[in-house]
């Protein structure tokens, strides 16, 4: 009988220990799920007016008149209607960030199975009103050679416009920049925007390097799931876009739920098995003669 009591006590200790570990894991997951708070960076005065302000869901002014790389007058809406659009801003005489931005876009796009001109379009718009269609054409030739995908000529367009048009478009998407008259160049933010086929802002990605996974998921969401595979749909269930970071991150709340369910099932199974084993180990009372 003493042996049975010891076994029962040992079983209860294991159960208490596992429940304690379970609670500690839940507390740890809760800490990891807490959103990180970014502190405002201390930027120099020349850059304090420069920003890429998110305006998710805003409609672009599709009636804006621009010029394409051939000098032809076009409207912004000419490039919308059937596919999502990647929008980039770069002035064509820039020797600093703009080439790095476009080079980062090319590297990310070359890692995707999606093709410009097929699953999506790209618009690169100069925010320098002095840029000409001939400069735009030279940039287009350069980056199409780097991209090296068939059909990209009809899917990637380099546009120019006058000051009023540029200002209206950049304000619509929250792209803020300054012109340094002393240095003769622009201070500007770097990043790209994903737009729906209807011309609404769907996603912002910051910097000059873009995760191919994030770009792919963003294009799928911007297209309202009209492109992509079932595996992409599974990834979208596991990842979500965080506007604060401009990236896709693991959906911790779903992970916590799944981990909690799995742990509870494992604990329940363990407790059931141990209690059943304990009952089987109890000595049976002798039958009366």
**Residue 289 included in any domain:** no
Total domains present in the chain: 2
**Do residue 90 and residue 69 come from a single domain?**
yes
Q: Which domain holds residue 95?
A: 46-249
- What is the mean pLDDT of the segment spanning 166-187? 91
What digits encode the pLDDT tens for the residues 56-112? 999 999 999 999 999 999 999 999 999 999 999 999 999 889 999 999 999 999 999
Rounded to 5°, the CA angle 281-287-289 comes to: 160
Please indicate whether residue 49 or residue 86 has the higher confidence score (pLDDT): 86
Which of the four pLDDT bands, split at 50, 70 and 90, describes residue 160?
very high
3-state class percentages of the chain: helix first, strand second, coil last, to nearest 5: 45, 20, 35
**Do residue 229 and residue 143 come from a single domain?**
yes
Q: What is the CATH number of the domain that holds 70?
A: 3.40.30.10
**Residue 38 included in any domain:** no
Give residue 177's pLDDT.
93
Give residue 287's pLDDT.
53
Instruction: Find tokens 């990605």 and name the residue.
Output: 205
C-alpha torsion sign, points 223, 247, 189, 171: positive
Instruction: Find tokens 């029962």 and name the residue.
Output: 8
**Residue 37 included in any domain:** no
**Do residue 183 and residue 268 come from a single domain?**
no
**One-letter-per-residue 3-state SS of 263-281:** HHHHHHHHHHHHHHHHHHH
- What is the mean pLDDT of the segment spanning 139-150? 96
**Residue 36 included in any domain:** no
Rounded to 5°, the CA angle 139-65-63 comes to: 125
Strands annotated E in 4-145: 51-52, 65-67, 73-75, 85-89, 121-125
Give residue 239's pLDDT.
79
**Do residue 274 and residue 198 come from a single domain?**
no
**Residue 208 included in any domain:** yes
186: closest CA among 178, 176, 174, 198?
A: 178
Sorted by sequence, the CB contacts under 8 Å of residue 259 that are 6+ apart come out as 25, 29
Q: Structure pTM?
A: 0.73
Task: Please give the share of the chain, as a percent, with pLDDT higher than 70.
Answer: 76
Round to whole Å and give the CA distance between 124 and 107.
Answer: 16
Give residue 264's pLDDT.
75
Please indicate whether residue 115 or residue 259 has the higher confidence score (pLDDT): 115
């Amino acid at each position: 009988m003493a042996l049975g009591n010891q076994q029962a006590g040992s079983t209860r200790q294991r159960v208490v220990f596992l429940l304690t570990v379970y609670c500690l894991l839940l507390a740890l997951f809760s800490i990891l799920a807490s959103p990180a708070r970014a502190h405002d960076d201390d930027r120099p005065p020349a850059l304090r007016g420069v920003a890429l302000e998110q305006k998710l869901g805003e409609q672009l002014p599709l009636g804006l008149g621009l010029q394409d790389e051939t000098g032809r007058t076009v409207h912004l809406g000419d490039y919308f209607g059937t596919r999502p659009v990647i929008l980039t801003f770069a002035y064509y005489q820039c020797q600093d960030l703009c080439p790095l931005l476009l080079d980062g876009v090319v590297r990310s796009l070359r890692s995707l199975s999606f093709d410009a001109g097929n699953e999506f379009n790209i618009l690169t718009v100069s925010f320098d009103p002095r840029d000409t269609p001939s400069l735009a054409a030279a940039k287009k030739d350069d980056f199409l050679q780097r991209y090296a995908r068939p059909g990209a000529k009809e899917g990637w367009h380099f546009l120019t416009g006058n000051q009023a048009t540029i200002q209206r478009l950049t304000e619509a998407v929250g792209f803020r920049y300054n012109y340094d008259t002393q240095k003769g160049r622009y201070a500007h933010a770097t990043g790209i925007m994903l737009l729906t086929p209807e011309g609404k802002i769907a996603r912002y990605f910051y910097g000059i390097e873009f995760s191919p996974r994030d770009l792919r998921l963003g294009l799928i969401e911007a297209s309202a799931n009209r492109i992509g595979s079932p595996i992409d749909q599974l990834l979208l269930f596991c990842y979500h876009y965080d506007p604060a970071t401009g990236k896709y991150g693991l959906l911790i709340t779903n992970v916590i739920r799944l981990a909690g369910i799995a742990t509870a099932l494992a604990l329940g199974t363990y407790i059931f098995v141990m209690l059943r084993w304990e009952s089987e180990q109890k000595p049976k009372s002798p039958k009366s003669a």
